[in-house]
DNA sequence: GAGCACTGC
């Protein structure tokens, strides 16, 4: 770990160059890309394993797991905890008698790549002794697999079939400091399981900041005598390179401009090494990229020897363009990746030596009063700043340019608000109920969500018929809804679809709505793309438009070329096929018959209303929409096919996103009579043929 | 007239 004792130096983007360095600690890091083993040059696997920092702690880790029910491991980047600890446990006998050592990851790719590495180290075929389980891809063997990597969401699913997780002897929750929704749920549930299963061991792998919180949460010792603690802590040093941190002298008025200036300054004054710049959204990424491309052209014309290659990176970018950031460049080219937060944890780009950090991130927020989610540009946390800086020190020592003052850094919160406290909880509450947690308000949350958010969730679940008057899961509706890997409104819509005679179409629509960025819009071909997309549009709205796209995709033999011609997300559509198949299987399980509307749109729309009635809006004389529930102003999202068209009187929508205004996404025109008919417990007929929510004032 | 952080089941 680097000491922070050198003189603090600052620089100002656009004026003087970066000054002397100050080294700082870097926080723990994700298990990144798979390591490639070359038998000709590499050390023997055994030798490599012993050189990892975690190896020195092997016996201590085994002692702690033997002694304590829960062990918190603070493992820094590159210490080897994820790949080694499960192997130590297996070697010590924790996988004997058919027991399994489970290791969770927040992301699918991480689960696969880490499993691959461990299988390779053990000389095992993937899916036998070592395996992984993620949605749509179970590469494990119930008899043979001893070490199993899985996503934390998958672990929560497994609890529905096996509430005490009997097959596991140890569960290690990796990257717990990220505090993703499912990691937090798993943590709460595991604490409950541990009370019934004293033999179950839990290892929480986390960054320094959160270790104490995890320890307090898991320690069941109330005697005040530390020798009776049920939870231990161990810190394992990492293996990363030092990163010098630079702050600005004064606050930066415009970080978009400052990012461009800093890239150019680095290019002029610094040695070789690629640049990674963090911004908050697609717009900013495109803006900075295009400005830099202009500068790069000018510099080439002026005969600058070293070239700049500018690469935008965000999740909505077409797959082929995303892949470009991983391509190697020639030594005469400096790669500049301009990215959203996707580059903070989800992807790792090799060769990055310089990081530029604007101090902001776009985060989901949930307003329990309006029941709307929004995306808000928020200052990052210190943990996040550290994570971003660490991206510069993976291959050799690097530099991080923070576009804010050290004083402002000190004001940042230590950690990001856990997802549990920023999201709509209806899916979580439904799942907890299905797992037998009757009183969800008293569930042992690591960070309890706002009570009002829970009440909102309970009300919605009641309105959907998933809960009864006593808040108990209904049988069969609630039980079945919980089995769908979708939010409760979708589950309700699917389960009702047989009553409307359109289960085939509804399964397709539900699957299509799970994919993001179905319509691809390359920034330089906006008009052509829009023209192609209009070909699928129908007056009823986005749901039937998506159905059209899917059916056309099938008609054209699921061709990737056809997708490209029509600016459609091919990988997304492939995913929709898989999701659809999974949903179809669940429908069969619940004996929902296959029926088709045979071209009648109304039955499909009515079925959508049966799930999404709570998300209804009517046109206001001002020309904008108002929610039926509480008369809030809404607008049709510009990505909707209904945007710019003659606005229908009544609509239902999938979700609301708040940016500059409240926008409805995935919008479909409906009849007001359907709302009263299909949700009589929710709406009643008011004066003047209008509708009113039973939960708010009559309009 | 105008907009889409990132995961996961």
> pLDDT tens across A138-165, in order?
999 999 999 999 999 999 999 999 999 9
**What whole-number distance in Å separates Cα of residue A569 and Cα of residue A255?**
31
Place A6 in a pLDDT band, splitting at 50, 70 and 90: very low
Q: CA A684, C1' B6: Å apart?
A: 39
Tokens describing residue A188: 């709460």
Looking across all nucleic acid strands, the nucleotide with the smallest C1' to CA distance from residue A347 is B6
Q: What DSSP character marks residue A176?
A: G
Nearest residue to A101 (alpha-carbon basis) of A89, A91, A113: A89
CA-to-C1' span, A655 to B7 (A): 18
Residue A363, SS3?
Answer: strand
Q: Which nucleotide is nearest to A151 (CA to C1')?
A: B8
Per-residue pLDDT at A41? 53
Closest residue to B8 (CA, C1′): A153
CA–CA separation, A295 and A304 (whole Å):
11
Nucleotide nearest to A158 (CA to C1'): B9
- Distance of A266 CA from B5 C1′ (whole Å): 27
- Please report which confidence band the pLDDT of residue A221 belongs to, taking 50, 70 and 90 as the band edges: confident
Q: Write down the pTM of the prediction.
A: 0.88
pLDDT in tens, A524-552: 888 889 889 999 999 999 999 999 999 99
Q: What pLDDT band is residue A642 in, cutting at 50, 70 and 90?
A: very high
* CA to C1' distance (Å), from A258 to B8: 35
Q: Residue A201 pLDDT > 90, yes or no?
A: yes
Q: What pLDDT, on the 0 to 100 scale, is given for residue A372? A: 82
pLDDT of A11:
55
* Contact between A60 and A120 (Cβ < 8 Å): no
Instruction: Encode pLDDT of A669-684 as tens digits.
Output: 999 999 999 988 788 7
Mean pLDDT of A217-234: 90
Which residue in this structure is represented by tokens 């039955």? A603
Q: What tokens were used for A606?
A: 């009515």
pLDDT recorded at residue A693: 61
**What is the spatial distance, in angstroms and rounded to an integer, between the CA atom of A412 and the C1' atom of B9?**
33
Give distance CA A579 / C1' B3 (Å).
Answer: 27
Over range A9-27, report the average pLDDT: 37
| Cβ-contact A209, A243 below 8 angstroms | no
**What is the nearest nucleotide to A110, using C1' and CA?**
B7
Chain B nucleotides close to protein (CB under 7 A) are 1-9
| Strands A201-206 vs A168-173: parallel, antiparallel or unpaired | parallel
**A371-401: per-residue pLDDT in tens?**
888 888 899 999 999 999 999 988 899 999 9
Nearest residue to B1, CA vs C1'? A644
Which residue is closest, via its CA, to the C1' of B2? A638
Report residue A137: phi and psi, to 5°: -155, 90
Distance, Å, A217 CA → B6 C1': 27
The whole-angstrom separation of Cα A111 and Cα A131 is 9
Which residue has the closest alpha carbon to B7 C1'? A107
Confidence (pLDDT) at A356: 97
């Amino acid at each position: 770990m680097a000491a922070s004792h050198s003189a603090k130096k600052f620089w100002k983007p656009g004026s003087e160059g970066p000054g002397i360095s100050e080294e700082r600690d870097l926080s723990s890091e994700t298990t990144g890309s798979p390591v490639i083993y070359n038998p000709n040059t590499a050390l023997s696997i055994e030798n490599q394993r012993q050189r990892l920092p975690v190896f020195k702690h092997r016996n201590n880790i085994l002692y702690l797991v033997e002694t304590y029910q829960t062990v918190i491991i603070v493992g820094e980047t590159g210490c080897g905890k994820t790949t080694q600890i499960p192997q130590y446990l297996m070697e010590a006998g924790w996988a004997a008698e058919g027991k399994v050592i489970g290791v969770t990851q927040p992301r699918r790719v991480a689960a696969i790549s880490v499993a691959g590495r461990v299988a390779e180290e053990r000389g095992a075929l993937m899916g036998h002794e070592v395996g992984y389980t993620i949605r749509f891809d179970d590469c494990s063997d119930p008899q043979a697999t001893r070490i199993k990597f899985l996503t934390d969401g998958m672990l929560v699913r497994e609890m529905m079939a096996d509430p005490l997780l009997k097959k596991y002897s140890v569960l290690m929750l990796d990257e717990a400091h990220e505090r993703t929704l499912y990691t937090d749920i798993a943590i709460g549930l595991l604490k409950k399981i541990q009370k019934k299963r004293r033999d179950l061991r839990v290892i929480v792998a986390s960054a320094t900041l959160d270790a104490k919180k995890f320890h307090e949460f898991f320690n069941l010792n109330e005697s005040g005598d530390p020798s009776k603690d049920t939870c231990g802590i161990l810190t394992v040093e990492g293996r990363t390179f030092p990163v010098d941190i630079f702050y600005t002298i004064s606050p930066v008025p415009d970080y978009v401009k400052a990012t461009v200036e800093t890239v150019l300054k680095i290019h002029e004054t610094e040695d070789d090494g690629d640049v990674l710049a963090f911004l908050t959204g697609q717009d900013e990424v495109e803006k900075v990229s295009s400005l830099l491309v202009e500068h790069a052209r000018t510099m080439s014309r002026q005969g600058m020897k070293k070239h700049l290659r500018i690469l935008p990176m965000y999740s909505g970018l077409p797959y082929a363009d995303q892949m470009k950031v991983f391509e190697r460049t020639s030594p005469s080219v400096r790669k500049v990746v301009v990215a959203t937060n996707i580059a903070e944890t989800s992807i790792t780009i090799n060769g990055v030596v310089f990081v530029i950090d604007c101090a902001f991130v776009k985060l989901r927020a949930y307003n329990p009063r309006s029941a709307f989610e929004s995306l808000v540009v928020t200052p990052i946390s210190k943990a996040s700043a550290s994570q971003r800086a660490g991206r510069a020190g993976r291959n050799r020592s690097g530099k991080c340019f923070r576009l804010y003052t050290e004083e402002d850094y000190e004001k940042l919160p230590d950690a990001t608000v856990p997802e549990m406290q920023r999201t709509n909880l209806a899916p979580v509450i439904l799942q907890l109920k299905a797992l037998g947690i009757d009183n969800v308000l008293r569930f042992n949350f690591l960070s309890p969500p706002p009570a009002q958010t829970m009440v909102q969730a309970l009300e919605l679940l009641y309105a959907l018929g998933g809960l009864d008057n006593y808040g108990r899961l209904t049988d069969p509706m609630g039980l079945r809804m919980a089995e769908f890997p979708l939010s409760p409104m979708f589950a309700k819509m699917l389960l009702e679809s047989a009553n409307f005679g359109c289960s085939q179409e509804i399964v397709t629509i539900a699957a299509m709505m799970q994919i993001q960025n179905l319509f691809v819009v390359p920034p330089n071909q906006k008009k052509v793309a829009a023209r192609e997309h209009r070909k699928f549009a129908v007056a009823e709205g986005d749901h039937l438009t998506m159905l059209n796209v899917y059916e056309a995709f099938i008609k054209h033999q699921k061709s990737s070329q056809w997708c490209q011609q029509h600016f459609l997300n091919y990988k997304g559509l492939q995913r929709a096929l898989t999701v659809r198949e999974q949903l179809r299987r669940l429908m069969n399980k619940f004996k929902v018959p296959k029926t088709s509307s045979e071209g009648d749109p109304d039955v499909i729309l009515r079925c959508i209303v049966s799930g999404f009635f709570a998300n209804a809006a009517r046109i206001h004389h001002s020309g904008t929409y108002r929610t039926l529930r509480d008369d809030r102003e809404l607008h049709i999202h510009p990505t909707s096919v209904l945007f710019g068209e003659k606005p229908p009187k009544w609509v239902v929508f999938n979700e609301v996103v708040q940016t500059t205004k409240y926008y409805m996404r995935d919008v479909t025109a409906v009849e007001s009579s359907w709302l009263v008919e299909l949700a009589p417990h929710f709406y009643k007929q008011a004066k003047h043929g209008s509708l009113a929510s039973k939960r708010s004032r009559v309009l």
